[in-house]
Structure 1
Amino acid sequence: MLVATRLLEETYPSELAALLGVRPYTVQSILASLEREAIIVSRLMGQTRVVCLNPRYFAHAELSALLWKLGERDLDLQARLAARRRRPRRAGKPGLS
């Protein structure tokens, strides 16, 4: 999850859940733990919570470099990142027919 967050720079919990193939509740609980430890920060953008690595984290530079290197090796994750939607779909929007 941290590798995907680093590669995306800013992301949404729902985007991470879809990208990693896990339930949104799982992502939200992991992100809450990481935020309590000050590894990530979140902010509201409208009604959507946006998360990113905390630039004030004491080992931010080292952690960011490590996660970037790990992301370079994960070709499956890179392929999923290339095929994703960038913005979350508006709630209540009708499907394409």
Structure 2
Amino acid sequence: MKSRSTSGENGNGEKVMKYRATLMVDFPTKNDAVNAMNAMSHEGKGSERALSKTKCNGNTLEIAIEAEDATAFRAFINSFLRDLQVIEGLAKPK
């Protein structure tokens, strides 16, 4: 996971997001990555305090998260990690 904390304002005096991370998860196939991305679409694009973007790059699912505070940042990351745990559990052979 890559993460970086930034702070301050942009040139217009608007607040910028403070926390950013990109989760990169490798799947066995591109189709598996796309299915996982679609399954997590209910997470939405964001809220007033945080936002996320998902995309597939081959068989890698990339989840980019930005938040203006640590609480929102942690909540978004935890939400995606819970979804990934479920997906991982479903993929295990019985």
What TM-score, normalized to structure 2? 0.31
- The structure in which a higher percent of residues are strand is 2
Identify which of structures 1 and 2 has the higher relative contact order when contacts are C-alpha pairs closer than 8 Å and 6+ apart. Answer: 1
Q: Which has the larger radius of gyration?
A: 2
Q: TM-score, normalising length from structure 1?
A: 0.30
